[in-house]
Amino acid sequence: MRIAAPLRTLAQRSAFAFLLVGALGVMVVGKARPESFEQARIVVTDLVAPILGAISQPVATASRLAADARSMMDLRAENDRLRRENERLKQWQAAARSLDVENRQLRGLLNYQPSNARRYRTARVIGDKGGAFLHSVLINEGAAAGVGRGQAAITGDGLIGRVASVGDRSARVLLITDINSRIPVVIEATRVRGVLAGDNSAQPRLTFTSANALLAPGQRIVTSGHGDVFPPGLPVGLVATVGEDGVRVAPFASADRMEYLQLVDYGREGVVGDAPATPAAPNTTASAGR
């Protein structure tokens, strides 16, 4: 140990000198014999290249994995952003579709402008009480908004019913297809009178027409104005079939997917008292107030 310590100290101090002398020697040899020096450098490079390749491979792999990880994180963030944006777009799309349907229905109500009406008001359908024994709908307007019993309920296509009962903030509209509905009508072209009687089917019957009346599918039916219930000329429907089952009428206005309707007050007083309507057979005498 006493001998090795001075030698190690001497080697450390003289290492720089040795390296400097070696570098100068390499430079001199390179200048004197450049071909041999280049050949030696190529040999050394060939020997070291596999080692450098083996050392650099994990570094490149780690760099590639880090780049892939950053790319995956960016893709995940982009995916989350696109998912949130897609949800917002779906909400806007649903709102736009709802507004489009509502807009079309309101434009449809403008197809019919009531004449000789005291007042009219647009109401929204908020409940469907339809079923096997009752065809009616609930609306969100009542006596507080001027709605009264007997007022006509129409859409842009034509008459769909009348107000049967009224609350302060809601009302019930009896549809023309209900079994309690009786409407005096007339064939527009031939002026043949009759009564449109609902029977809880999609196509009410045309009853109480004269025996020799000429009826054919496609004839237009409007209100006659008799009974002082509705004014004459309100569009009701078309004759659909004429046969052993009687005369069936296809209404212009359909209650399917109906969301808005117009309540028209014509100032008529032909509605019977406020007692609830009772079911009537299809061929009984027409009641002007039904």
User: Block means of pLDDT (10 residues each) for the chain, length 290 residues?
Assistant: 67 73 73 70 74 70 80 87 86 75 63 65 81 81 90 88 92 92 92 92 90 88 87 92 90 83 79 42 36
Q: Provide the pairing of β-strand 235-243 with 246-251.
A: antiparallel
- Could you please state the CATH topology (level 3) that the domain comprising 114-290 is classified under: Thrombin, subunit H (2.40.10)
| CA distances from residue 207 to 143, 173, 203, 285 in whole angstroms, order as listed | 33, 22, 13, 9
Residue boundaries of the structural domains of the chain: 19-109, 114-290
CA 92, CA 220: separation in Å to the nearest integer?
Answer: 42
pTM over 0.75: no
pLDDT in the model for residue 4: 64
| CA distances from residue 149 to 162, 163, 165, 260 in whole angstroms, order as listed | 8, 5, 6, 18
pLDDT in the model for residue 86: 87
